[in-house]
Amino acid sequence: MGYVLHNFFRSSTSFRVRATLNLKGLDYAYLPYALRKGEQRDSRHLALNPQGLVPTLETPQGPLAQSLAIIEWLEETNPEPPLLPSDPWARARVRSLAQAVALDIHPINNLRVLRYLSEVLGADEEAVAVWFRHWVSETFAPLEQRLSQEPETGQFCHGESPSLADICLAGQVLSNRRFSVSIADYPTIQRIFDACMALPAFEAAAPNNQPDAE
């Protein structure tokens, strides 16, 4: 048995796992869930992942939830090509950059949170878009500063090959498009994003190239 990815084309956490599987040359079956219809909470998926969130990766050892845990596990079990450097301090930098996106932007701007804003707190469409853009810029501004100033930055976030940080960053930039977030103010992020999307592994993971794309 191989890998089965339970996911959604537009989910940036799903993108991260797709890009990782692609970079490592691992085949997987694609199972889409229409998040707006709540399909991720059907009993079949809840049996694999009681949180009822995508992505969930079915593996030969069992189901695994949480995109960053999935990626670290894939990295440990399929080390080539590496998505983390070997030096601990360099690994820490990559994880720190990745987590700025994965913890300080994505969870706050996730679909279930945006829905709560409109359905429970009565926020209108514009207020939801302002919220989304606020949390992107709160992190993208300092991230641009770090990436443009720190000597470890190369063609990618860390040196000359894509890492966990690029995977998280590219997923966020793709997600930003739904709310027309301009990244003109972030030239280093733009440059790194372009380098990522020039790689077939990233391009094949993009939302528009998935079977459930609208």
Nearest approach, Cβ of residue 82 and a second copy (Å): 15
Strand order from edge to edge, sheet including 56-59: 28-32, 3-7, 56-59, 62-65
Binding map of a second copy across residues 50-89, x = CB under 8 A, - = no contact: xxxx-------xx-xxx-xxx-xx--xx----------xx
| Spatial contact of 17 and 55, defined as CB atoms under 8 Å apart | yes
C-beta of 83 vs 199, nearer to a second copy: 83
Give the residues across from 3 on adjacent strands. 28
Span 109-168, contacts to a second copy by CB under 8 A: 112-113, 116-117, 120-121, 123, 127, 130-131, 134, 138-139, 142-143, 145-146
96 lies in the binding site for a second copy (CB under 8 A) = yes
CA–CA gap between residue 84 and residue 165 (Å, rounded): 9
Q: Kindly list the distances between the CA atom of residue 44 and the CA atoms of 41, 50, 117, 170, in Å, as whole numbers in the listed order.
A: 8, 10, 28, 30
Distance in Å, CB of 111 to a second copy, minimum: 13
Please state, in angstroms and as integers, the Cα–Cα distance from residue 181 to each residue in 55, 95, 134, 184, following that order: 24, 24, 10, 9
Where on the chain is the footprint of a second copy (CB under 8 A)?
Answer: 50-53, 61-62, 64-66, 68-70, 72-73, 76-77, 88-89, 91-93, 95-96, 98-100, 102-104, 106-108, 112-113, 116-117, 120-121, 123, 127, 130-131, 134, 138-139, 142-143, 145-146
